[in-house]
Amino acid sequence: MTDENINVVGPSVTEEDIRVLMKRKDEIEEQIKAYYDMLQDQGDVGLHAPLVDVEGFPRADVDLYAVRTARQSISCLQNDHKALMTEIENALHTLHANAKVGHERDDAKTKAAKQVVSMLSPFAIVDTVIQGSPAFQGGLRVGDEVMEFGSVNTQNFSNLHDIASVVQHSEGKILRVGLIRNGQETHLVVTPQKWTGRGLLGVQLSTSSPMTSGSTKFIKPNNTSSISRCPLTIFTFVMLLCYFEFDGSTNACIVVQR
Tally the domains of the chain.
2
**Same domain membership, residue 20 and residue 38:** yes
The C-alpha atoms of residue 72 and residue 64 are separated, in whole angstroms, by: 12
Mean pLDDT over 15-34 rounds to 91
Residue 172's alpha-carbon distances to 129, 146, 148, 166, 180, in angstroms, are 19, 21, 19, 12, 25
Task: Identify which has the larger pLDDT, 237 or 130.
Answer: 130
Domain end among 58, 89, 118: 118
The C-alpha atoms of residue 148 and residue 140 are separated, in whole angstroms, by: 13
**Same domain membership, residue 62 and residue 173:** no
Q: What three-state secondary structure class fits 28?
A: helix
**Same domain membership, residue 110 and residue 191:** no
Q: 137 lies in which domain range? A: 124-257
Least confident of 35-39, 138-142, 213-217: 213-217
Mean pLDDT over 125-148 rounds to 93
Longest CA pairwise span in the chain (Å): 131
Other CB atoms within 10 Å distance of the CB of residue 82: 11
The C-alpha atoms of residue 128 and residue 37 are separated, in whole angstroms, by: 88
Residue 168: inside a domain:
yes
The pLDDT tens digits for 58-101 are 888 888 898 999 999 999 999 999 999 999 888 888 888 877 76
Judge contact between 146 and 177, C-beta under 8 A.
yes
The C-alpha atoms of residue 225 and residue 55 are separated, in whole angstroms, by: 131
CATH number of the domain encompassing residue 193: 2.30.42.10
**Same domain membership, residue 251 and residue 138:** yes
Domain end among 92, 118, 144: 118
Residue 52: inside a domain:
yes
What pLDDT does residue 53 have? 83
The C-alpha atoms of residue 239 and residue 231 are separated, in whole angstroms, by: 18
**pTM score of the predicted model:** 0.40
Average pLDDT over the chain, rounded to an integer: 74
Reply yes or no on whether the pLDDT at 104 is more than 70: no
Domain end among 118, 149, 182: 118
Residue 9: inside a domain:
no
Residue 250: inside a domain:
yes
**Same domain membership, residue 129 and residue 103:** no
Q: Shortest CA distance to 58 belongs to which of 42, 74, 75, 70?
A: 42
The pLDDT tens digits for 193-226 are 999 988 899 999 997 543 333 332 323 333 333 3
Residue 201's alpha-carbon distances to 31, 149, 197, 205, in angstroms, are 78, 13, 9, 11
CA angle 233, 237, 238 (to 5 degrees): 140
What pLDDT does residue 116 have? 55
The C-alpha atoms of residue 88 and residue 66 are separated, in whole angstroms, by: 32
**Same domain membership, residue 236 and residue 133:** yes
